[in-house]
Amino acid sequence: MAASTPTYEELRRSLAARKYAPVYLLHGEEGYYTDVLVKEMERIVPEEDKDFNQHILYAPETTMDKVMDLCRTCPMMSERVVVILKEAQAIRADQLNRLHAYVKNPTPSTTLVICCRGAVAKGKELLAAMRTGNNVNFESKKVNENTAGTLIGQYIKSKGLNCDVKAVQMLRDFIGTDLSRLYNEIDKLATILPRGAAVTPEVVETHVGVSKEYNSFELVDAIAAHDSLKVYRIADYFAANPKSNPLVMTCATLFGFFSDLLICQFSPDKSDSALMQELNLKNVYPLRRFRTAMANYNARKTIEIIGALRDFDRKSKGGGSRQNEHVLFRELLFHILTAPGDVAV
């Protein structure tokens, strides 16, 4: 059988069925999946057999020769030896490459797990060796803005709770796309709320610390409605609470909104069903803000605003400007609210 690159769910199912590969490489920018999978692999060996048959090593504190020596030992009163090498992203590629000889010819009764949390594995020889035999190469890619909301909603439901669209947006905007932090906050809510309860903006505000009135979700609504008073009130709150409202996330939210608005504006069929399909929406609720925005912004203005958002992103990161990012942000909001739409379509 050739080496495999299963999905996260496929890998969990194979572990639950006790179908183990000789070598696993767990790597990639999203560390949450690596954490969960390692915990499950730490349960392969029964608790009473772990002293002799499970070995957890940290790459910066050991040698690859020791790792391979442990992999070549026979199980003692157990079916399998499990060797877990953590923090492999912290060592040089040439060191990690030393494992390639073992990976090409692993011991059948041993499972080696190589973990590069939060980073793609280095070492061309190791990666080439992982493509041989029955080895499993699992790369967890970083979650993006478009998929984070869906994952948050799914995880809330998996905890026996119902989710509110605005609450999901608040969690995403406040915490970002770090699944470990997001899911940890949801786990806390699951211990506080009764089963079947709804995760509402009020719940997020009370237990996570995000204001239900001053967040990116509300800012988008205010911009869509062309409510300048509310827009600047939220901007002032962001400036006074910069850690709770990182502008890089807010800019990404605004960019996503105006990009989707442009899709709506150029869609030949502007019925609810057609726009929901174009935007991959699960319900009609988010369309309300797009309907509102289409009454206040034409396609020319939207294109100009998307350009202004790109310009803000560049300047806020030091590209061609040394102004405070919140000063730049207020200028961006003024540009959005007053955009003349002087661009060709």
User: Quick one: pLDDT at residue 284?
Assistant: 81
Answer yes or no: is 2 within a domain. Answer: no
Query: Are 174 and 300 in the same domain?
Result: yes
Mean pLDDT of the chain: 90
How is residue 52 written in tokens?
A: 């002799």
166 and 122 belong to one structural domain = no
**Position of tokens 């309860």?**
197
DSSP-based helix, strand, coil % in the chain, nearest 5: 55, 10, 30
For residue 65, pLDDT beyond 80: yes
When pLDDT is cut at 50, 70 and 90, the band that residue 214 belongs to is confident
Indicate the number of domains in the chain: 2
Query: Nearest 5°: CA angle at 265, between 264 and 270?
Result: 60
Question: What number is the average pLDDT over the span 89-93?
Answer: 94
- Report d(CA 174, CA 250) in Å as an integer: 9
| d(C-alpha 57, C-alpha 123), whole Å | 19
Does 3 fall in a domain? no
* Last-in-domain residue among 118, 139, 160: 139
27 in a domain, yes or no? yes
Banded pLDDT at 152 (limits 50, 70, 90): very high
Higher pLDDT, 92 or 170: 92
Do 218 and 115 share a structural domain?
no
Residue 2 confidence (pLDDT) above 60: no
Same domain, 126 and 74: yes
Domain extent at residue 195: 148-338
Q: Round to whole Å and give the CA distance between 287 and 279.
A: 9
For residues 143 and 23, the model is more confident at 23
Report pLDDT for 320.
65
Tens digit of each residue's pLDDT (9 = 90 or more) over 7-17: 899 999 999 99
Give the start-end residues of each E strand in the chain. 23-28, 54-58, 81-86, 110-117, 136-139, 162-163, 198-199
**Quick check: is 1 in a domain?**
no
User: What is the C-alpha separation between 119 and 90, in angstroms, rounded?
Assistant: 9
CATH number of the domain encompassing residue 315: 1.20.272.10
Q: Average pLDDT for residues 277-292, to the nearest whole number?
A: 87
5 or 302, higher pLDDT: 302
The pLDDT confidence band at residue 206, using thresholds 50, 70 and 90, is confident
